[in-house]
Structure 1
Amino acid sequence: MESVFASQVSVSVVVPVFNTEQYLWECLTSLENQQLSSLEVIVVIDASPDKSYQLATRFAQQSHLAIRIVNLDKNVGLAQARNIGMSHAKGQYLGFLDSDDYVDENMYQHLFNEASQQQADWVSCGFSKFSAHGVECYAHQNISENTSVCNKLFRREFIFEHQIVFPQGELFEDEIFSYMAELFADTVVHIEQAYYFYRHNPQGICRRAGADKHRLYARMSSIGDFMQRMEQSKLLPKAAPLCLEMLCRHAYLQLRTQVSWFDLLCYWRFTQHLIEKYQLNNSDSQTQDNYFVSSFSKWQSREWALWLIRIRAGRANYAVE
């Protein structure tokens, strides 16, 4: 096995695993079926209480894939599990696959070829979201709509050179990682084909019923840390238009969530605080046609109008909690 890992690897795919025993075999099979031959898979078992470790071991024993299994004694969370997986990677490019999802057999071959030909720092493809209710396909190029790391390949040297890691202990770790990669990158490639299949899991940490309030404050923490890093890394002048769009978009989308009126106002005022603190209004001229920026600018000082918008959005039951 070690001789396989020592040879040239085109793509390393990190698969963090926690409580996904029922989906893991399908996930790993989709990697085994990849057309790209120089592929390594790093499975990080994040102290999963189910039989995921045994299943992954059995799969590795019968598979032709170069599979490395990292079995953690203590649960560290998705972000740190991915960071640990990255530390074991040897590929030219890094990919991430959630263990309850799967990928098309052509995904990594196509993405690697495009990235290599154009010497891209990272490349993304479209993805399909599926559930019992059907399938929806997405092919966003704008980074604010394309924040998942799972439909992408990142040049490994680029990631390590700029010390881009997943923020430990925070939700929305994909978003922070993707924004950092966008801002540091010289060349980015987008492919419209939907090669990644994302399972809509209502039990996921960001989708469980009643989780909106937790998500709101987790997003505040993540975005606050992100803005601080932008300032420290001297990227803020370049990043200002993108940051303004991100902040306004997230604030406006909170109108659709099931949080109290008090929590909603806290988020909008927090957003305004960050815009003023980092002087992002100076980039208004570059984002004046953006829907979310113009909407936030229009409604931020008219809280009574926000109340009406919220009622029309069908969140009246949460308005006075």
Structure 2
Amino acid sequence: MQEIISVIVPIYKVEEYLERCINSILNQTYKNLEIILVNDGSPDKCPNICEEYAKKDDRIKVIHKQNGGLSDARNYGLNIAIGKYISFVDSDDYIEKNMYQDMINELRMKKADIVSCAINNVYSDRSVSSDIEERVYDTESALKDLILGKNLNQTVWNKLYKKDVINGILFEKGKINEDDFWTYQVFANSKKIITLNKVLYNYIHRESSIMGQGYSEKNLNGLEARYNQYKFIEKNYPKLNLIAKKSVFFYAIFLYQKLLISKHDINNSYMCIQEYLKEINFNDKERKQLTIKEKIWVFMGKKSMYFTCKIRNLIHIGI
């Protein structure tokens, strides 16, 4: 008998996209699915759409809850999921019909804990598919590429997980960049992670989505997530300490560059960024491992973040 894959779909204000999303899951060639639709207090027709689909297919479970955000909705799904495997699909996206069959075949054949596939980025006027290298990773090498954003990314929805490696790790409620708080912890629980160079997930870029909006102080969640990741790496994977530290530093620069070209009051955010940067110092051994360009930006950033980011914006570096 096929093992169950639990597919968790958080839903909020997506009535225009929801049917396409659900249909793409129902039409999978791999049939033994538990489809958990989590209505996160959506004020539109989404709750009715969910209930109508549940009447048509007994693989669907519907949860109606008060609005608590994407992380909270995913956690509700995780708490009731019965599958040996877990997957997440965002409700404005859709998946290719062979996604779960291809992914579970790879997991079984290579005896892996997580498989990550290539993505099709869908815009209003075009689509752009990613191309990734097929690799088999151990824990440390996977974390390295995850931090670097090389071949692996923080997003949770283009992956299939053995439920055992999630092991009760929940998403940080009330955060954006929630994947950045979660993924590295799950990778650390995994002994083998693989990448599959097949475009199986279609990610819709919407201006009205959380990640499509301009700067807000909530963007500092991404910096917090990278700092938490760095402290975790420092304690558990010291060989990766420098790249995790650089990830925090250069993301802080990116955020401040973004802040300078926005219309927001910069003071609160600037002080918060500076507090994180006080914690990021490169010793002599680490400085020797930096590239010449990195050494320049680290030196300038420590002298004046404002001046550094002004210069980078002026010459169109990093944003």
TM-score range, shorter-chain basis?
0.7 to 0.9
**What is the match of residue 318 of structure 1?**
none
Tell whether 2:61 aligns with 1:68. yes
**What is the match of residue 147 of structure 1?**
154
Change (3 A) 1:249 1:188: farther
Q: Does structure 1 conserve the Cα–Cα contact (< 8 Å) formed by 2:223 and 2:248?
A: no
Q: Shift of the alpha carbon at 1:190? A: 0.5
Aligned pair partner of 1:307 in 304, 307, 310: 310
Separation in 1, partners of 2:296, 2:198: 31
Deviates more, 1:92-101 or 1:184-193: 184-193
Q: Does structure 1 conserve the Cα–Cα contact (< 8 Å) formed by 2:8 and 2:37?
A: yes
TM-score of the superposed pair, with normalisation by structure 1: 0.81
Tell whether 2:13 aligns with 1:19. yes
Q: Mind listing any 5+ residue stretches in structure 2 that lack a counterpart?
A: 134-144
Where in structure 2 are the equivalents of 1:244-255 lying within 5 Å? 244-254=245-255, 255=257
**What is the match of residue 78 of structure 1?**
70
Change (3 A) 1:52 1:245: same
Amino acid aligned to 2:241? A
Separation in 2, partners of 1:290, 1:98: 41
Aligned pair partner of 1:220 in 216, 219, 223: 223
TM-score of the superposed pair, with normalisation by structure 2: 0.81
Change (3 A) 1:238 1:40: farther
> % of aligned pairs identical?
24
**What is the match of residue 41 of structure 1?**
35
**What is the match of residue 138 of structure 1?**
130
Change (3 A) 1:314 1:192: closer
Where in structure 2 are the equivalents of 1:63-212 lying within 5 Å? 63=57, 66-72=59-65, 74-139=66-131, 142-144=145-147, 145=149, 146-160=153-167, 163-208=168-213, 211-212=214-215
Q: Deviations over 1:80-99 (max 9, x none)?
A: 11011011111111100000
Q: Does structure 2 conserve the Cα–Cα contact (< 8 Å) formed by 1:251 and 1:267?
A: no
Change (3 A) 1:263 1:81: same
Separation in 1, partners of 2:270, 2:295: 18
Separation in 2, partners of 1:175, 1:30: 26
Separation in 2, partners of 1:213, 1:282: 36
Separation in 2, partners of 1:204, 1:271: 27
